[in-house]
Amino acid sequence: MCSIGVDCSGGGDDPMIMAARRDGWYAPLVEVPGKEIPMDRSGAHCAGLVVSQRRDRAMVVVDMGGGYGGPLYEHLKANEVEVYPYKGAEGTTRRSVEGKLHFANKRSAAYWAFREALDPGQPGGSPIALPRDQKLLADLTAPTFEPTPNGIRVEPKEKVCERLGRSTDRGEMRLHGKPWRPAGADESVKAGLVYVPEERKRQGLVLDHSLGASISIGFTDLLARWGLIPRRAEEVRVGHAMKAFGIRSTGQDQPVGALSGGNQQKTILARWLEREPAVIVLDEPTRGVDVGAKAEIHALIDRLAGQGKAVLLISSDLPEVLGMSDRVLVMCRGSISAELQGGAMTQENAILAASGMYEV
C-alpha cells in the first residue's frame, strides 16, 4: 500500500470513506456509516479506523473539504502518522497530458487526470485499475467539466447531486414501495426479481449443458424436498415450460449450445419466468434473434405487462424501446436526462435527450 485517502464524515447519513492505493491498483472502498461515528471524539475514533486499514506505513491523504477532516488530520499528525491535508479548492499549476489545458483547482485537475489515466487507448493501455465499485464509478463519471477564465472546472458535487436528484455515491432501491438492499442474487430471485442478461452465451448459459438443466436451474429450489429434486416433477415442469415458450429442440437432453439464438433466449426466459416473478429486467432481449423469435418475445413482454408485472426493458434498438414501452427513461452522462410518455415518446425526443439537448 502506498497511500490511503479518507473522506471524513459529518455524522448522520454522511458516511466516512477510505480508499487504499497500491501503485496503479485501487482497492475497494471501505465505508463506515456516519451514525456509527461519535462526533464529539471523531478525530480519535476515525484515526483508529484509518490505522486499522493502513498498511506499509502508507501516507494518509485527508480530504479537508467541508471542514470534517480537521480533527482526523490533527490526531494523525500528533501521533506521527504521515498525513497530507488535501484541499481540493486550492489552485494548481498542473496541466493536462498534452499540456494545453490548465485547471481552476486541484479537484478539477484530479478528476481530469483520473479520466486521462483510465483511457484504454493510450500507449500501453491504462496504467491504473479500479475496483468493481458502483459508488466509485458514479463519483468519477457523473460530474461534467466547463471552461472558465481560471481554467477547466469540474462540476461541484452539490450541483451533481442537485442534477441527479440524489448523491453520486448513494442510491436507494425500492421493491413494492419499500426500501430494499438485497445481499445477493439469491435474495433478489426469492424476492421476485429476475434478470435476463445481454450476453446470453457468456452470462446466461453453459452451452454444453442440457436444455432441461438450463431451464430447471431457475426453479429447482421450488421443487426440492429435503434437499432432493424429484426427477419426474422436474421433467414435467421443464416440458410445460418448453411448450409454453415455444422452444424448438430434439428434447430435454439436447445441449443448449446446439439451439438457435432465438431458442436459447427463450430458454433463459423460461428459466426465470416459470418462477412467476414480480419484476423482470430484460437486457437486450431480442439481440441476435431472428424475426420470428423477436415477434414472440415482444408478444411475451406484452403479456407480462398485461398481467401486472413490472418489466424493465434495456435496449439499444430505439424503435423497439418506443414500440414496447409505456414510459421511457433516457440517460445522458450517467444520469436520467428525460422521462418520455405518451406523445413525447418519439425518436427525435429520445435522441435529443440522449445528447442532453431535450427540453420539456
The cell numbers describing 180, all together, are 430494499
The answer to whether 277 touches 309, Cβ cutoff 8 Å, is yes
- Model confidence at 222: pLDDT above 90: no
pLDDT score of 169: 56
- The residues pairing with 95 across neighbouring beta strands, listed in sequence order, are 102
Task: Give mean pLDDT, residues 116-133.
Answer: 82
pLDDT for res 172? 67
The label of the residue with cell 481530469 reads 112
DSSP strand pairing (59-63 vs 3-7): parallel
pLDDT tier for residue 298 given thresholds of 50, 70 and 90: very high
What percent of the chain is predicted at pLDDT more than 90?
Answer: 36
Residue 185 identity: A
237-290 confidence digits (pLDDT tens): 999 999 999 999 999 999 999 999 899 999 999 999 998 999 999 999 998 888
Phi, psi (degrees; rounded to nearest 5) at 317: -90, 100
Query: Are the C-beta atoms of 215 and 234 separated by less than 8 Å?
Result: no
**What is the grid cell recorded at 313?**
426493458
Assign 166 a pLDDT band (cuts: 50, 70, 90): low
pLDDT score recorded for residue 37: 87
SS3 of the chain: the string is CCEEEEECCCECCECEEEEEEECCEECCCEEECHHHCCHHHHHHHHHHHHHHHCCCCCEEEEECHHHCCHHHHHHHHHCCCCEEEECCCCCCCCECCCCCCEECCHHHHHHHHHHHHCCCCCCCCCCCECCCCHHHHHHHHCCCEEEECCEEEECCHHHHHHHHCCCCCCCCCEECCEECCCCCHHHHHHHCEEEECCCHHHHHCCCCCEHHHHHHCCCHHHHCECCECCHHHHHHHHHHHHHHCCCCCCCCCCEHHHCCHHHHHHHHHHHHHCCCCCEEEEECCCCCCCHHHHHHHHHHHHHHHHCCCEEEEECCCHHHHHHHCCEEEEEECCEEEEEEEHHHCCHHHHHHHHCCCCCC
Is the Cβ–Cβ distance between 84 and 59 less than 8 Å? yes
- pLDDT for 89 equals 87
Counting other chains too, the contacts that 234-238 makes at CB distance below 8 Å and 24 or more residues apart are: 237/274, 238/211, 238/212
Cell numbers representing residue 18 in the block = 477510505
Chain centroid to Cα 321, Å, comes to 21
Q: From 1.20.58.220, 3.30.420.240, 3.40.50.1580, 3.90.550.10, which CATH number describes the 3-129 domain?
A: 3.30.420.240
Rounded CA-CA distance 66/214 in Å is 53
pLDDT tens, 37-69? 888 888 899 999 999 999 889 999 999 877 788
Integer Cα distance of 103 and 146 in angstroms: 10
pLDDT exceeds 70 at position 348: yes
Strands 279-283 and 310-314, by their bridges, are parallel
CATH class in words for 174-325 = alpha beta
- 3-129 and 174-325 agree in CATH topology: no
In this structure, which amino acid lies at residue 111? Y
What residue segments make up the domains of the chain, in order of their start?
Answer: 3-129, 174-325
Do the beta carbons of residue 303 and residue 247 sit within 8 Å? no
Q: Are 62 and 8 in contact (CB under 8 A)?
A: yes
Structure confidence at residue 170 (pLDDT): 57
